[in-house]
Amino acid sequence: MRRPPVTLVCDRLVLRRWQEEDIGAAARAIRDSHDHLLPWSHLAAGDSHEAATALVTTAMSEWERDEAYKYAILAEGQVVGGCGLMRRIGPGGLEIGYWLHGDWTGRGLVTEAVAALMTAGFALEGVDRLEIRHDAANVASAGVPRRLGFEEAEPAAAPSSPLLPGESGIVRVWRKTAP
């Protein structure tokens, strides 16, 4: 398969390819989660509507160019976050990224979303590994790959962009190889 499905249905979630009409809902999720996201995500660093517009329009164009496959996370019919598979770690690999509205954390939703991304990612032709990367200070993000059987790899180089308020500058890398 060249691209993953545009919609992935989970037990409690629907992952749906970002669409232009999602900008308002994404902006609300980012704005309402400002304090939760700011330590870890550039999404919360500025105006939420501008961030959501950039998020959605970039996601749409990256999908068309087969650079990334990014999804809105929907729970109970509303956008509560985002996740995706990104072709930025070299041939055969996809990086998984995710963010979630602060009011929806602690329920295993990101773990559920990432499990669906794993299935979709490994179904793509030529994909032999998935990676999750996060700042070492973001302890909550470490729980997701750990629960899903990823193994910790060597840390990645420090990011070249300025650190966000919660970041240590140490990038943890978790890897899962194809079954």
For the stretch 122-147, pLDDT in tens is 999 999 999 999 988 899 999 999 99
Mean pLDDT, the chain, as a whole number? 93
62-71 own/partner pairs: CB under 8 Å, 24+ apart: 62/86, 63/3, 63/17, 63/18, 66/2, 66/3, 69/3, 69/4, 69/17, 69/120, 70/17, 70/18, 71/8, 71/15, 71/16, 71/17, 71/18, 71/113, 71/117
Residue ranges and CATH numbers for the domains of the chain are 7-177 (3.40.630.30)
Structure confidence at residue 164 (pLDDT): 66
Look up the pTM and report it: 0.93
Give the model's confidence band at 166: pLDDT under 50 very low, under 70 low, under 90 confident, else very high. Answer: confident
